[in-house]
Amino acid sequence: MPKTAMTVIRGGRLVNIRAHAAPKADILVKGDTIAEIGRPGMSVPADARIIDAKGRLLHPGLINGHTHSHGNLAKGMVDRVTLELLLTAGAWMSGQRTLEDKYLSSLIGAAEMVLKGCTAAYDLAAEFPMPTMEGLSAIGQAYADVGMRATLAPMVADTTFFKAIPGLMERLPPALQKEVERFGLAPHKASLAQMKKALHGWKLAGKGIRLAVAPTIPHHCSRAFLLGCLELSKDYETGLHTHVAESKVQVIAGYKLYGSTLAAYMDSLGMVGPNFTVAHGVWLDGDDMKLLGDKGASVSHNPGSNMRLGNGIADMRGLLDAKVNVGIGTDGASCSDNQNMYENMRLASMVSKVQGPDWQRWITTEEVLEAATAGSARALGLGDKIGKIETGYKADIVFLDLDSLNWIPCNDPTNQIVHTEDGTGVHSVMIGGRMVVENRKLLTVDLTTLAAKAEKARARLEKANRPAKALSEKLAKIVGTFCPGLAREPLHIDRFAGGHHHHAQGRHLH
Ligand SMILES: [Zn+2]
């Protein structure tokens, strides 16, 4: 049996999130796991490889609670879009992707994430009209090639956006109705069969790449489909991840279709539990939050995306008060521009503070940093393995350069990781005991080659998706008035009122 490799990280300052301190500590790594944390100069086996971390601040790898790998080839394509306009543009922005495109798009995102201090992600990857074993393997391989962890939850639906929003299809002229019929998704049995095949034959678990199940948006899935997803997640013990109450339009659609909130509807099907993650949750009401908290569920708070798409501000304080597990996510680069977890931590802090002068309800930096590490880890179902620098946890460690301008001077490591660091201070990144970034260089993937391949793919997709773009522009004229019109229907919003009653009050349609 080969001897397990030992590594000692010497001389670094290890952040203690709650103490707002970073005392010096040495870390012994055995294989991919942290074996011991001790005093500087602690004795270690003579053959241990030494990593000099003098002048470095060590923090747990950031964990992206919600992203979409297919978004990376589509970054920058749109400016003023609501969620509904983004969904309308889906066939243009993400259509015609080859297997190689799926791999490339994931590789771009994974490379960006590790270079910006992120070591694991919950990726709701998309393939049309349904996920495939080959596609998921290509996407997973991209993460494995970069060297980061990922939970891939293929985004599935059996109802198109145009049919999912009550009244929208009827609003389209017959010619356009016919055109969007072509967006038809696979019947749910076919999608479920593909997912099952992938879950059954998955080969990348040893590389830290796992699968989960993501009925993308509740009302974009038939009841039978949601129940099929639930069954798969039970049979294979995976996470369940879905966009719930991301936009006000979704909440109104939920009331019209189910007579309840989307979270309550999911719960009525038995879907809400500790493996359940809500993406965004901007429009959750007090009862929803209580439900999610009582069932041990998670919310990925994605503040950058929520602002960018005009969805609003999720109530992270309300979620924490209701004992919901909160993670932080970037969302896809097609709608939130980058994969920078530092930026989203800062935004998570800012959006809580911008709501008013009731500063005692503002989110603290330690709450944000814990959400972006341990909180997201729990959402990924890996709360006992990643998200902390502690004995027994995987050695996923970010080395920040204390000589970078973000750290001159270093007054408070917790505050500065959340508020000052922007990714430019990332010096090195270790994932599972392996150096993936060293001295600001990605060791696993050549970015020059990646850039050339990505440009080729971009140019080809731009051409191939021209008809879809033209159709999307026609549809946008209708969606862009119909959906905001729908969103003008009043909803009672109690949660920003503060006080102690807001959990008991629901949100009701007038
Ligand atoms: Zn999303």
Can you tell me whether residue 245 is helix, strand or coil?
Answer: coil
SS3 260: coil
* Separation of CA 213 and ligand 1 centre (Å): 13
Ligand 1 centroid, distance to 330 Cα (angstroms): 9
Task: Calculate the average pLDDT of the chain.
Answer: 94
Residue-level pLDDT at 139? 98
The CA 205 to ligand 1 mean position distance, Å, reads 23
Distance 474 CA to ligand 1 centre (A): 24
CA of 47 relative to ligand 1 center, distance in Å: 46
Give dist(CA 127, CA 140) in Å, integer: 13
For 257-278, write each residue's pLDDT tens digit.
999 999 999 999 999 999 999 9
User: And the tokens for 97?
Assistant: 């992707």
Question: What pLDDT shows up at residue 183?
Answer: 79
251-255, 299-303, 330-334, 339-343: lowest mean pLDDT where? 251-255
With bands split at pLDDT 50, 70 and 90, how would you rate the model's confidence at 74? very high
Please give the distance, rounded to the nearest whole angstrom, from the Cα atom of residue 241 to the centre of ligand 1: 10
173 Cα: distance to centroid of ligand 1 (angstroms): 29
Residues 6+ positions from 500 with CB-CB distance below 8 Å: none
What integer is the mean pLDDT of 291-308?
A: 98
What's the 383 CA to ligand 1 centre distance in angstroms?
A: 21
pLDDT tens digit sequence for 189-243: 999 999 999 999 999 999 999 999 999 999 999 999 999 999 999 999 999 999 9
Going from the Cα of 242 to the center of ligand 1, the distance in angstroms, rounded, reads 8
Q: Which residues pair with 280 in a beta bridge?
A: 244
Measured CA to CA, the distance from residue 302 to residue 473 in angstroms comes to 27
State the chain's maximal CA–CA distance in angstroms.
76
> Could you tell me the distance, in angstroms and rounded to a whole number, from the CA of residue 332 to the centre of ligand 1?
6
Cα 331 to middle of ligand 1, angstroms: 5
Please compute Rg for the chain using Cα positions: 22
Task: Please tell me the distance between residue 71's alpha carbon and the centre of ligand 1 in angstroms.
Answer: 10
Question: How far is ligand 1, taken at its centre, from the CA of residue 74, in Å?
Answer: 14
pLDDT tens by residue, 103-138:
999 999 999 999 999 999 999 999 989 999 999 999
Measured between alpha carbons, how far is 413 from 7 in angstroms, rounded to an integer?
25
E strands within 23-87?
A: 24-30, 33-38, 49-52, 56-60, 62-67
- Please give the distance, rounded to the nearest whole angstrom, from the Cα atom of residue 1 to the centre of ligand 1: 44
Phi/psi for 503 (5° steps) reads -70, -30
**Ligand 1 center to 230 CA (angstroms):** 19
- Where does 304-369 show beta strands of DSSP type E? 325-328
According to the model, what pLDDT value does residue 329 have?
98
Which tokens sit at 62? 């950031």
Q: How many angstroms separate the alpha carbon of residue 66 from the centre of ligand 1?
A: 6
Distance CA 73, CA 8 (A): 38
- How far apart, in whole angstroms, are the C-alpha atoms of residue 162 and residue 173? 12
Looking up tokens 């948006």 gives 217
Q: Which amino acid is at 142?
A: A
Ligand 1 centroid – CA 247 distance (Å): 11
> Taking the mean position of all CA atoms in its chain, how far away is CA 203?
23
CA of 287 from ligand 1 middle (Å) equals 23
The pLDDT of residue 498: 38
Confidence of residue 510 (pLDDT cuts 50, 70, 90): very low
| CA–CA dist 6, 13 (Å, integer) | 20
**Helix boundaries (H) for 185-247:** 188-201, 223-235
The arithmetic mean of pLDDT across residues 276-286, rounded, is 97
- Distance between alpha carbon 99 and the CA centroid of its chain, in Å? 22
- In the DSSP assignment, the letter for residue 41 is T
- Residues 386-445 have pLDDT tens digits of 999 999 999 999 999 999 999 999 999 999 999 999 999 999 999 999 999 999 999 999
Q: Which residues pair with 298 in a beta bridge?
A: 277, 325
Distance 279 CA to ligand 1 centre (A): 6
pLDDT, tens digit, 9 for 90 and up, residues 31-40 = 999 999 999 9
Q: How far is the CA of 124 from the centre of ligand 1 (A)?
A: 7
Q: For residue range 13-66, what is the model confidence (pLDDT) as tens digits?
A: 999 999 999 999 999 999 999 999 999 999 999 999 999 999 999 999 999 999
96 Cβ contact partners less than 8 Å away, ≥ 6 residues apart: 461, 464, 465, 468
d(CA 210, CA 506): 36
CA 209 / ligand 1 centre spacing (Å): 19
Q: Is the peptide bond prior to 129 cis by the omega test (within 30 degrees of 0)?
A: yes
Predicted pLDDT at 184: 79
Q: What is the dihedral of CA 274, 279, 282, 286, to 10 degrees?
A: -10
What is the crossing angle of helices 188-201 and 133-146, to 10°? 40
pLDDT recorded at residue 492: 63
Ligand 1 centre distance from Cα of residue 233 (Å)? 19
- Give ∠ CA 496-501-507 in degrees, rounded to 5: 60
Give percent of the chain with pLDDT exceeding 70. 96
Tokens 């049996």 found at: 1
Strands (DSSP E) contained in 423-476 are 426-431, 434-438, 441-442
Q: Report whether pLDDT(343) > 90.
A: yes
Q: Is the pLDDT of residue 501 over 50?
A: no
Cα 405 to averaged position of ligand 1 atoms, centre (Å) = 33
Residue 433 Cα, ligand 1 centroid: separation in angstroms? 30
Task: Report the alpha-carbon distance of residue 373 to residue 62 in Å, rounded.
Answer: 5
Tell me, what's the pLDDT at 4?
Answer: 86
352 pLDDT higher than 90: yes
